[in-house]
Amino acid sequence: MKYFFIFTSLLFSVSIFADTVKPISAVDLLDSLKNNKMKFEHLYKNQEIQVYGEISSINDIRKENYRIHILATTAEPNERALNSDVICLVPEGSSSASKIFDLNKGQKITVKGIFNSYGMFGLIQLKNCSIENV
pLDDT tens figures, 26-59: 999 988 988 998 999 999 999 999 999 999 999 8
User: How is domain 21-133 classified at the CATH fold level?
Assistant: OB fold (Dihydrolipoamide Acetyltransferase, E2P) (2.40.50)
d(CA 134, CA 126): 18
Q: Beta strands of the chain (E only): which ranges?
A: 23-25, 48-62, 65-71, 85-91, 108-118, 124-133
pTM assigned to the model: 0.77
Over pLDDT 70: what percentage of the chain? 73
